[in-house]
A and B are shown apart, each in its own frame.
Chain A
Amino acid sequence: MAAEVMLVNEIESTAARLGIDLDNFDYSSVKLPPGEYCGIVSDDEDVYHDDQLEFDSGFGNIIVVDNLPVVPREKFEKLEGVIRKIYSQIGVIKEDGLWMPVDPETKKTLGYCFIEYNTPQEAELAKEKTNGYKLDRAHIFAVNMFDDFDKYMRVPDEWAPPEIKPYTPGENLQKWLTDEKARDQFVIRSGTDTEVLWNDARQSKTELVYKRTYWTESFVQWSPLGTYLATVHRQGAAVWGGANTFNRLMRYAHPQVKLIDFSPGEKYLVTYSSHEPSNPRDANRVVINIFDVRTGKVMRDFKGSADEFAIGGTGGVAGVSWPVFRWGGGKEDKYFAKLGKNMISVYETETFSLIDKKSLKVENIVDFSWSPTDPIIALFVPELGGGNQPARVSLVQIPSKEELRQKNLFSVSDCKMYWQSNGDYLAVKADRYTKTKKSTYTGFELFRIKERDIPIEVLELDNKNDKIIAFAWEPKGHRFAVIHGDNPRPDVSFYSMRTAHNTGRVSKLTTLKGKQANALFWSPGGRFIVLAGLKGFNGQLEFFNVDELETMATAEHFMATDIEWDPTGRYVATSVTSVHEMENGFNIWSFNGKLLYRILKDHFFQFLWRPRPPSFLTPEKEEEIARNLKKYSKKYEAEDQDVSMLLSEQDREKRRMLKEEWDKWVSEWRQAREEEKLERQKLRDGEASDEEEEYEAKEVEVEEVLDVSEEVLSYED
């Protein structure tokens, strides 16, 4: 029985490692539920194989507590009471879920017990909290998951070299970018269906790429460069992608995952779940995992109570402001940071540990944000001591943690930070109290990050008391737009950080008076903007060209809730999601506000354009293309014309077919009617007046002479 000996050796070594006293262990006292093997290797090979797949399930909610005092029977109940008291604080112990085996000979306990909880989460929590618990000096608890015993017992004794799998080339995950017609994809979710579609704007329709029912259990999300589509399930998250269709590329186990977030370079995936505490007075337990997207490996996990993750931010209601971890350092995914009490914890992804092993201490910090391109953090500390200590915004370089710039702000009630997408500028919107402290007004502090010493400029609106409804930077540009004023007709103003004759100062371009807008959507390429009136304005849209400062089109998508530009800035999608009962579906517009097509879907939840990675073209090359646009566009215009010709041809053909088909029906009916004519007459007692029933449209021209008069005009030479 060599196998058995080996097994015992294994157990001994495992037990020794875990600190279990095997001498006092009574094997026969281990009671197994009928029909289960608890993952213990059976002598019977068949059973072993059959049950192998089920090993991981079923016992996740049991823990083994070791190093208990060995007590005689008289003290058994007392000990049990103590253990129950300790462990029922952590979670609900199942009925008969606490079991302390007793040596049948000595009638003494064996120094360990099993505890079964209702959920694996509780068991895990219990293990975490009480491993190393000092009952007294001689008895320090050693707590392990029941499943772990099994796991370690199955480690083979001899090391076997890992099997090297032959390299299989993966699919081209970027294939969608090479579409011949240069179309873009988007994903929609309606009812139980999730569909990925091409936006075939030329033909004013969509083309299905992939459709799946129950693809996700809550939502879907593209990775920031568009490579993956992430789905969320009870067991965890998954990412999908592929050359021509969508295959599952990787799974990320995280039970009851609620939220997910990709790092900007899509190297990492952050998953979040929150679990109800067993004790209602406690805060929810939060689990956050950071996975490597490609390998599926957990790079770091964070566990704790919701309180630890809910500091600062605006997510007061939900408990956690998502994303908890904000990524910085541009697309390299080098750093991520979390706001804590009086500190920012900045981690780096090389080691997944805190930079310099300590957090960045900032007293009373309430908010921070990363530059989208550089490892710079902008942080905001509010006013303290009734105005004695002013509020401040500072820029901190990572990893040196050196303060680049600081600005004190007086009588500020709130601050919001807006980064321009290239990290060139930072706008800080500061709400200030008026002298009476009864009301507030708003001003902007504009930081020029890329310039020497980071100059700061203060901008106040023409009318200081205007409320700011929305603010948005032009992507990659130097301009920004602000909606200010009072509902129902606020004004929209455009400013530029540098104009031709004024490079160092911000200047106003124009103000549009009385617009029905409350949200701003810049084209990703800049230059164009959609001024949208969502919610209370019922979906008013104005397509505005900021270069020419003129309105290209005004339109309406009644009840629209969401607006998104496609990643190339050619099309705009407006959608009505299921927050409204009616009108669900989406419209696709051209950049200049022409409605291309409209699709209605009941229970419409999501519309997301597939993002594109940044262009490889150098700015010089892009400029050159822009200059010679006429030359390039010829080819596409010709193509467009071909398509539209084809379409109208197809349309005519379709109509002709429908008409023919209809005429066939009509002639059939006429014949049947003719055949039944006599019988019908009989039913009407011989009255034959079928013809009278049919009216025909005839054009009759009626000329009425109202008046005739004659007038003699004298004719002169």
Chain B
Amino acid sequence: MRPILMKGHERPLTFLKYNRDGDLLFSCAKDHTPTVWFADNGERLGTYRGHNGAVWSCDVSRDSTRLISGSADQTAKLWNVQTGTQLFTFNFDSPARSVDFAVGDKLAVITTDPFMELTSAIHVKRIARDPTEQTGESVLVMKGPQGRINRAIWGPLNRTIISAGEDAVIRIWDSETGKLLMEADKESGHKKAITSLAKSADGSHFLTGSLDKSAKLWDMRTLTLIKTYVTERPVNAVALSPLLDHVVLGGGQDASAVTTTDHRAGKFEAKFYDKILQEEIGGVKGHFGPINALAFNPDGKSFSSGGEDGYVRLHHFDPDYFNIKI
């Protein structure tokens, strides 16, 4: 089907997130305003005004009432999804990069970038049910990895936190004590910065995308490498289909290295791979800049991609897609 082109952001997209019901799509971009759209027809529903810098990521609570967003203005904000009002602001001393609600939405993990002489850090915050009781204190702060941490998510039962970033190492931390539990094997792991990380629907495995032109699938509990997907371009964004055994990789040439001769030179395609056979199935073209964000609708029947070109493209799959055989 023809993709729905959603033009609302003025700067490159950074992150996309569906709510649990799959009816809302939240988008973050380098302009300062996270936006919510109808996931079905791409109509814009509203914006969340208040940030004063690029917004790097967001997460929405299970009941679709709260939105958390992390921004380069050195804050993470809690929003009321319905009204768009700010509920609380977490202040940091460096830009906030990744945000993720825990199971039960009572905790959130927020990462901050290295800034001036500060190193990067992973903060765990308690999220109060009643926003008036919300405090900015961290339950736990973890430091250690060199360079930026691009993504940190909760592991099974909120017992662990999984982080990945510029140093190409995936780490599993104990979310109670803050102790480092596991590091991914250097040999089999990524060779360059990890740009993205996505959980499977049941939280049993996750997919990482890296500038080393590959994506890897890991077991969430044991950090065992299960699969590797090799592509021709740096991978900026990854997504796992909740419905079929497919993974989607997005990326493309860095804006600074894009050749000007041909639109194909950049390979700004969302590439579909068979999750089990590790073989490429197909690609979805359309963006004219690298793809920075990918998200699957929880029903697995549509997905959206956000590009450096400032567009969100919403794709509803044709019926043929569900019958792909290789």
Q: Which residues of A contact B (CB under 8 A)?
A: 538, 558-559, 580-583, 600, 655, 658-659, 662, 665, 669, 672-673, 676, 679-680, 683-685, 693-697, 699
Q: How far is the CA of A399 from the CA of B281 in the complex (A)?
A: 65
Q: Would you call B204 an interface residue if the criterion is a C-beta within 8 Å of the partner chain's C-beta atoms?
A: yes
Task: Give CA–CA (A694, B22) in the complex, Å.
Answer: 12
User: Given the interface contacts A582-B232, A680-B103, does A694 sit within 8 Å of B277 by beta carbon?
Assistant: no
Closest to A696 in B: B243
For residue A660, which residue of chain B has the nearest CB?
B276
Some 15 contacts from A to B, beta carbons below 8 A apart, are A582-B253, A658-B277, A665-B205, A669-B202, A672-B156, A673-B204, A676-B157, A680-B103, A683-B102, A683-B104, A695-B242, A697-B243, A697-B244, A697-B322, A699-B322
Asked if B284 is at the interface (CB within 8 A of a chain A CB), the reply is: no
- The closest CB in chain B to the CB of A693 belongs to B201
Given contact pairs A582-B265, A695-B298, A680 touches B20 in the complex (Cβ within 8 A): no
Q: Are A683 and B158 in contact (CB under 8 A)?
A: yes
Q: Mark B199-218, 1 if CB is under 8 A from A, else 0.
A: 00111110000000000000
Flag whether B299 is at the interface (Cβ < 8 A). yes
Query: A588 to B299, alpha carbons, bound, how many Å?
Result: 41
Closest Cβ–Cβ distance, residue A260 to chain B (whole Å): 33
Interface-facing stretch out of B5-13, B114-122, B255-263: B255-263
Whether A685 contacts B104 by the Cβ 8 Å rule is yes
In the complex the two chains form, what is the Cα distance from A412 to B230 in whole Å?
Answer: 55
Supplied contacts A582-B253, A669-B204, A697-B322, 20 more A-B pairs, CB within 8 Å: A580-B259, A581-B257, A581-B259, A582-B267, A583-B265, A600-B232, A659-B276, A662-B245, A665-B219, A665-B226, A673-B202, A673-B204, A676-B156, A683-B103, A683-B104, A683-B157, A684-B62, A694-B242, A695-B242, A697-B243
The answer to whether B244 touches A694 (Cβ under 8 A) is no
Q: Are B261 and A538 in contact, CB atoms less than 8 angstroms apart? A: yes
B285 CB to closest chain A CB (Å) equals: 14
How many A-B contacts if CB must be within 8 Å?
70
Q: Is the CB of A582 within 8 A of B259?
A: yes
Interface size class of B (residues with CB under 8 A): 35 or more
Q: Is residue B143 within 8 Å, beta carbon to beta carbon, of the partner chain?
A: no
Closest to A663 in B: B276
A662 and B276 contact, CB distance less than 8 A: yes
Known contacts A672-B156, A676-B157, A694-B201; A583 and B232 CB within 8 A of each other: yes
Q: Which residue of A lies closest to B232 (CB)?
A: A600
* CB-defined contacts of B205 to chain A, threshold 8 Å: 665, 669
Asked if B300 lies at the interface with its beta carbon under 8 angstroms from chain A, I say: yes
A676 partner residues in chain B, CB cutoff 8 A:
156-157
Chain A residue, CB-CB nearest to B301: A695
Q: Are B202 and A694 in contact (CB under 8 A)?
A: yes
Decide yes or no: A538 and B262 within 8 Å by CB, A669-B202, A695-B243 being known contacts: yes
CB neighbours (8 Å) of A683 from chain B are: 102-104, 106, 157-158
> Which residues of chain B are near A582, meaning CB under 8 Å?
232-233, 253, 259, 265, 267
Q: Which residue of A lies closest to B242 (CB)?
A: A695
Asked whether any CB of chain A lies closer than 8 Å to the CB of B221, the reply is yes
B264 at the interface (CB under 8 A from A): yes
Interchain CA distance A128-B228 in the complex, whole Å? 63
**Contacts from B to A (Cβ < 8 Å):** 20, 62, 102-104, 106, 156-158, 201-205, 219, 221, 226, 232-233, 242-245, 253, 257, 259, 261-262, 264-265, 267, 275-277, 298-300, 322
CB distance A695 to B299 under 8 Å?
A: yes
Taking CB atoms, residues of chain B closer than 8 Å to A693 are 20, 201-202, 298
A94–B213 Cα gap in the complex (Å)? Answer: 52
Q: State in angstroms the CA–CA spacing of A697 and B242 once bound together.
A: 10
B104 touches A684 (CB 8 A): yes
Cβ of A181 to closest chain B Cβ, rounded Å = 26
In the bound complex, residues from chain B placing their C-beta under 8 Å from that of A658 are 276-277
Which B residues are CB-close (under 8 A) to A685? 104
Interface centre among B103, B219, B253, B267 (most CB of A within 10 A): B103
- Please, which residues of chain A bring their CB within 8 A of the CB of B242? 694-695
Q: List B contacts of A538 (CB < 8 A).
A: 261-262
Task: Compute how far the CA of A669 lies from the CA of B242 in the bound complex, rounded to whole angstroms.
Answer: 15
Contacts of A580 in B (CB 8 A): 259
Residues of A near B245 (CB, < 8 A) are: 662
List the A side residues contacting B257 at CB < 8 Å.
581
Residues of A within 8 A of B156 (CB): 672, 676
Contact in complex: A559, B265 (CB < 8 Å): yes
| Distance between A569 CB and nearest chain B CB, rounded to angstroms | 30
Given the complex, which residues of A lie within 8 Å of B103, measured CB to CB? 680, 683-684
Q: Give the docked Cα–Cα distance between A673 and B103 (Å).
A: 13
Q: Are A697 and B261 in contact (CB under 8 A)?
A: no
Chain A residues with CB under 8 Å of B264's CB are: 558
Chain A residue nearest in CB terms to B203: A673
A697: chain B residues at CB < 8 Å are: 243-244, 300, 322
**In the complex, what residue of chain B is closest to A535 when comparing beta carbons?**
B261
A669 to B217, CA, bound (A): 14
* Complex Cα spacing A658 to B226, Å: 11
Docked Cα-Cα span, A323 to B259, in Å, equals 35
Give A659 to B278 CA distance when docked, in angstroms.
Answer: 11
Residues of A within 8 A of B244 (CB): 697
Max chain B C-beta neighbours (<10 A), residue from A669, A673, A694, A696: A669
Shortest B172–chain A CB gap in Å is 15
CA distance A643 to B153 in the complex (A): 48
Distance in Å: Cβ of B216 to nearest Cβ of chain A: 14
Closest to A559 in B: B265
Task: Evaluate contact between B299 and A679: CB separation under 8 angstroms.
Answer: no
Which residues on the B side are within 8 Å of A655 (C-beta)?
A: 277
Q: A655-B277, A658-B276 are in contact. Are A695 and B300 (CB under 8 A)?
A: yes
Minimum Cβ distance to chain B for residue A501 (Å): 47
Q: Check if A672 sits within 8 Å of B221, measured CB to CB.
A: yes
- Rounded to whole angstroms, the CA-CA distance of A665 and B202 in the bound complex is 13
In the assembly, what is the distance between CA of A662 and CA of B276, in Å?
7
Q: Chain A contacts of B322 at CB under 8 A? A: 697, 699
Q: Which residue of A lies closest to B102 (CB)?
A: A683
Bound together, the chains give a CA A665 to CA B245 distance in angstroms of 13
Residues of A within 8 A of B262 (CB): 538, 558
Residues in chain A near residue B106, CB distance under 8 A: 683
Closest 9 CB pairs of A and B: A669-B204, A683-B104, A662-B276, A684-B104, A683-B103, A695-B299, A697-B243, A658-B276, A679-B157
* Inter-chain contacts of B232 with A (CB < 8 A): 582-583, 600
For the complex, give the distance between the alpha carbons of A394 and B27 in Å.
Answer: 75
Q: Give B106's nearest chain A residue, CB to CB.
A: A683
Shortest distance between the CB of A673 and any CB in chain B (Å): 6
**Chain A nearest CB: distance from B8 CB in Å?**
28
Complex CA gap A658/B277 in Å reads: 7
- Give complex CA distance A580, B232 in Å: 14
Greatest chain A CB density within 10 A among B219, B244, B275, B277 is at: B277
CB B223 to nearest CB in A, in angstroms, measures: 14
| Chain A residue at minimal CB-CB distance from B299 | A695
Looking across the interface, which residue of chain B has its beta carbon closest to that of A600?
B232
Minimum CB–CB distance from A684 to chain B (whole Å) comes to: 5
- With CB as the reference atom, state the residue of chain A lying closest to B300: A695
Q: In the complex, what's the smallest C-beta–C-beta distance from A601 to chain B, in angstroms?
A: 11
Give the CA-CA distance A693 to B219 in the complex, in Å. Answer: 20
Give the CA-CA distance A695 to B275 in the complex, in Å: 17
* Bound CA span A665–B219, Å: 9
Contact of A672 (CB < 8 Å), options: B204, B253, B265: B204
- Provide the bound-state CA to CA distance between A680 and B262, in Å: 50
CB distance from B98 to the nearest CB of A (A): 21
Residues of A within 8 A of B201 (CB): 693-694
Contacts of A559 in B (CB 8 A): 265
> Within the assembled complex, what's the spacing in Å between the Cα atoms of A559 and B264?
10
CA distance A665 to B204 in the complex (A): 9
A687 to B276, CA, bound (A): 33
Give chain A residues whose Cβ lies under 8 Å from the Cβ of B259: 580-582
Contacts of B226 in A (CB 8 A): 665
Residue of B nearest to A673 (CB): B202
Q: Which residue of A lies closest to B231 (CB)?
A: A600
Question: Nearest CB to that of A602 among chain B residues?
Answer: B213
Distance in angstroms between the alpha carbons of A90 and B104 in the assembled complex: 84
